[in-house]
Chain A
Amino acid sequence: GAVVSQHPSRVICKSGTSVKIECRSLDFQATTMFWYRQFPKQSLMLMATSNEGSKATYEQGVEKDKFLINHASLTLSTLTVTSAHPEDSSFYICSAGGQKDTEAFFGQGTRLTVV
């Protein structure tokens, strides 16, 4: 199957700093990628849909100025958590595909801890 690579897998940062997470589709072009957040023992929550060459579409309740998404090429989308706070600590996962009758391919996920 297709491969989506996400980095870093784990990051610890100080409160107030920014963290960038990268999501790459290694063997296919992804015009659309998705960013999810998952709290312990809870379901995946869609944060935003990243569209290549245009602005991301954010889900209700997700602050677009805090979670900056850039999808500058067909193989790379980035999520930047700006001015991170402890409540932003979570597991962030990106995916590509999952549209129409295709399966979604997930990145490895990023465990963010803000101290």
Chain B
Amino acid sequence: GQNIDQPTEMTATEGAIVQINCTYQTSGFNGLFWYQQHAGEAPTFLSYNVLDGLEEKGRFSSFLSRSKGYSYLLLKELQMKDSASYLCAVMDSNYQLIWGAGTKLIIKP
């Protein structure tokens, strides 16, 4: 079956760095997405990786290793507004998005 694994919850301190991991097993691969979702709101797009390596976008970076079925989202200089759930999603061979359950990130002052 298809599976996306990411930690349920993480806690970090304001101003620090946090890495959220995602491992996947899917039938085919056409890219990996990271989304941010605040409580009660729809997800917003953060990043897309289809080739191995690191994609940097401001305070957020996303890394992909296709051979390992692994990605991480790196958040630097954490701010209180970064408290949210972070969703990892993989597009399979049928171009369907397979969603992880999300990682709830709690930022403490």
Q: A residues touching B (Cβ–Cβ < 8 Å)?
A: 1, 6, 34, 41-46, 91, 93, 98-101, 103-109, 111
Contacts and interface: CB of A to CB of B under 8 A. Distances in A.
Contacts of A111: 40
Contact of A104 (B97, B101, B102): B97
A111 B87 CA distance: 19
Interface residues on B, range: 20 to 34
B13 interface: no
B42 A107 contact: yes
Interface of B: 30-31, 33, 40-45, 48, 50, 87, 91, 95-97, 99-102, 104
Contacts of A1: 45
Contact of A100 (B41, B95, B99): B95
B44 A46 contact: no
B96 A106 contact: no
Q: For chain A, what secondary structure do more than half of its interface residues adopt (helix, strand, loop), or is it mixed?
A: loop
B78 to A, nearest CB: 22
B90 to A, nearest CB: 11
A108 B44 CA distance: 10
B73 to A, nearest CB: 15
A46 B97 contact: yes
Contact of A43 (B33, B48, B95, B100): B100
B31 A101 contact: yes
Given A43-B102, A100-B95, A104-B33, 16 more contacts: A41-B104, A43-B87, A43-B100, A45-B99, A46-B96, A46-B99, A93-B42, A98-B91, A99-B95, A101-B30, A101-B31, A103-B45, A104-B97, A108-B41, A108-B42, A109-B42
B99 A44 contact: yes
Nearest to B9: A41
B43 A106 contact: yes
B48 A103 contact: yes
5 contacts: A98-B33, A101-B30, A101-B50, A106-B43, A106-B44
